[in-house]
Amino acid sequence: MYEAFYGFREKPFSILPDPSFLYLGATHTMAYAMLEYGVRNRAGFTVITGEVGCGKTTLLRRLLEELGPELRVGLISNAQQDFGELLQWVLMAFGLDYRARSKVELFDTFQQFLIAEYAQGRRTILIIDEAQNLTPQTLEELRMLSNINADKDQLLQLILVGQPRLRGLLRRPDLLQLAQRVSADFHLKPLSLAETIQYVRHRLKVAGREEPLFTNEACALLHRVTRGVPRLINIIADTALVYGYAEEAPVIDRRLVYAVVKDKANQGSLQLSHLIKRKPKAAAPATADEGQGDWTARGQGAAPAAPGAGQAAERPDPLRPTASVVEFDKDAVRGPLLKRES
Ligand SMILES: Nc1ncnc2c1ncn2[C@@H]1O[C@H](COP(=O)(O)OP(=O)(O)O)[C@@H](O)[C@H]1O
Ligand SMILES: [Mg+2]
């Protein structure tokens, strides 16, 4: 809808992990270099971690585009906890016949495949995204697969990508042997303020617009409220474009971004937990009072799960509705703008 008005060929802030939009700032450059290093140096295990929405899958997509025919790559893109038989998933990732047979037969099929690839001068790499969902047993099974060798060469390399919990898993004493085989690893950080400004410009440019559109103050507020997480930046920036288009604004300024953040926090449609003061339900007024003080709102979603209620402690999904009574914290978006970064 706003594309023609702002001169885009396509939407600049989609939340798909599209590598054609990849912006390589310092942290993403390092993470990508680590992936390449792992591949080139035949690392048994390469591990990349990062918070939800920081760009891990996008980097993987870029890597897949760049890998040459001397590599045979299998991807398990959404590892689940109730994974079932690992070997079946692995065979499927390489397009092999994985239908129910005994574990011995599955193993044999995979081993024959690795040997055949090796004989043809190809190396085999298995990439697992969302690897924080794997159980310790599955991780240990992966280590065993990575032990398959011919002469002195290991036949399978693994790349594990996941949320920070993966790092904790690899510190478990029973996974020590796996941890010792990790020769390339990196933690992807969110974008800095300067990177956020460049990131926004970069995406606008890829989408077809050369002229600046978001003011630096708008980017500074984007950075502040998202803490530099690209997926959150995209969601807010996309809506800011809709708001801008609605009032035919020639540039997206801080005021427009602020309006989006306020609305999203109030609707509870985006978990901007650091902008939200939780209130005890009884104490909250029934209606929003925008005239004075902070905004309040009743969200639709369920309250976050109680600690220890089945799920391991993890960063909540930023897209999940927030707790039932939330209050947008104006102070959290106030303060010196474009403050120098340390
Ligand atoms: N360095 C980057 N350059 C361009 N877009 C990025 C970058 N990092 C993240 N994104 C965008 O942010 C969104 C979330 O990225 P994604 O790769 O799915 O994150 P993760 O896998 O870490 O949860 C996607 O739209 C993605 O394109
Ligand atoms: Mg991902």
Distance 135 CA to ligand 2 centre (A): 18
Tell me the C-alpha distance between 28 and 291, whole Å.
43
Q: What is the pLDDT of residue 79?
A: 83
Report whether 127 contacts 159 (CB < 8 A).
yes
Distance 317 CA to ligand 2 centre (A): 12
Helix, strand, or coil (residue 252)? strand
Distance 51 CA to ligand 2 centre (A): 9
DSSP string, 143-200: HHHHT-EETTEE-EEEEEEE-THHHHHTTSGGGHHHHTTEEEEEEEPPP-HHHHHHHH
Q: What is the pLDDT of residues 269-312, one digit of tens each?
A: 776 656 655 555 554 443 333 333 333 332 333 333 333 333 44
Distance 14 CA to ligand 1 centre (A): 9
Of residues 271, 320, 330, the one with CA closest to residue 296: 330
Around Cβ 69, how many Cβ atoms within 10 Å?
Answer: 6
Q: Is 104 left (phi over 0), alpha (psi -120 to 50) or beta?
A: alpha
- Residue with structure tokens 């929405």? 53
Q: Considering every ligand atom, which ligand is closest to the CA of 131?
A: 2
pTM above 0.95, yes or no: no
- What number is the average pLDDT over the span 69-79? 93
For 119, residues 6+ apart whose C-beta sits below 8 A from its C-beta are none
Q: What is the pLDDT of residue 333?
A: 55
Q: How large a percentage of the chain has pLDDT more than 70?
A: 79
Q: What is the pLDDT of residues 203-229, one digit of tens each?
A: 999 999 999 999 999 999 999 999 999
Tell me the C-alpha distance between 241 and 103, whole Å.
53
Residue to substitute in 22, 231, 238 for testing ligand 1 pocket (most ligand atoms within 8 angstroms of CB): 231
Bigger pLDDT: 29 or 267? 29
Residues around ion ligand 2, judged by CB within 5 A, are 56-57
